[in-house]
Amino acid sequence: MKNSYTTPFFSLLLLFLSGYGGLSFGVSPAFAQSVGNRQVQLRIRFVGAHGIRQREEGARFSPEISDLQEKLLRFPYRDFRLIDRKLTTVPVAKRTELPLAHGHSLAVRTVHVSEQRVGMWLKWTGGDGMEILDSRLHFTAQEPLLTGFEVEGDRGIILILEVRQEG
């Protein structure tokens, strides 16, 4: 009878202790590795787009972004041109500031990363200090994250972010 009464309380206590112990003494190596000295490879492409695409009208792409044609067609623009690109390695769980073209900047912090999934905080700031996007999101590691920003009615810039696990 005593056991019946105390089971839920002991369960909660054990859960707490196991979680605490796991984090403190490295019982969970996967977690420790994910927040330890791991690094991820970040590939950034900064694309300028202009001209509103009419229906049935094709779009033009610069050769550096030809692999993203299908995805870029979601944006309503006609011409896409690569402005800037970066390939860098950033540590997991640490904030990294990356300057982009024309005064834009991107701050990223990888929350978690696995072969399938990436969790990331990112803050994209415009050249004039405008906070274009400040978000924490989780997305598929194999797929690029595309974020467009409408500068004017017929003009925009697109930030393409790809994350790969290193090693």
Partner 1 sequence: MRRKDTTTDRKSGCVLRELEELLLSKFYDGECSFFERWQVRSLLKKKRAAGEFLEVLGEGSRQYGELLSSRVEERVPEEGRWEEVVRRIEEEERASQFLGNRVLDADGRGEESVFWRFFHLPTLLSREFMGAFACSAIVIVGAQASLPYLFRGDQSIDAQQFVDTQAGEVRRVQQQVPQRQVAEVRRTPELQPSSIVPVDLVSSVPISGRVGAPLTSENFDSNSFDALFSPAPNPSFSSLRRAPASVYRGSRPQRITAQREVQAPVEVDWIRSDGRVRMLGNSLTGAPTLFVKKRVLMRREASQVGKVSSPGSSSARSNPSGIVLQERTLPAAAFAK
Identity of the residue, 32 or 145, whose beta carbon is nearer to partner 1 in the bound complex: 145
Q: Which stretch binds partner 1 (CB under 8 A): 15-23, 35-43, 90-98, 152-160?
A: 152-160
Least spacing, CB of residue 134 vs partner 1, in Å: 4
Q: Does 54 bind partner 1 (CB under 8 A)?
A: no
Select the residue interacting with partner 1 from 144, 163, 165, 167 (CB under 8 A): 144
Least spacing, CB of residue 118 vs partner 1, in Å: 10
Q: Which stretch binds partner 1 (CB under 8 A): 15-23, 24-32, 35-43, 149-157?
A: 149-157
DSSP string, 10-36: HHHHHHHHHHHHHHHHT--HHHHHHHT
Residue 117 token pair: 């999934």
Q: Does 142 bind partner 1 (CB under 8 A)?
A: yes
Q: Footprint of partner 1 on residues 121-140 (CB under 8 A)?
A: 126-140
Q: Give strand ranges (E) for 7-144.
A: 39-52, 60-61, 77-91, 95-99, 105-113, 117-125, 131-140
Run of H or E including 147: strand 145-152
Least spacing, CB of residue 148 vs partner 1, in Å: 4
Residue 96 token pair: 């990294």
Q: Does 18 bind partner 1 (CB under 8 A)?
A: no
Q: Among positive and negative, which fits the CA dihedral 65, 50, 97, 131?
A: negative
Report how far residue 150's alpha carbon sits from residue 83's, in angstroms, rounded to the nearest whole number: 16
Select the residue interacting with partner 1 from 38, 78, 85, 155 (CB under 8 A): 155
Contacts of 19 (CB under 8 A, 6+ apart): none
Name the site residues for partner 1 (rule: CB under 8 A): 1, 3-5, 7-9, 48-50, 71, 74-75, 79, 81, 83, 101-104, 116-117, 126-140, 142-152, 155, 157
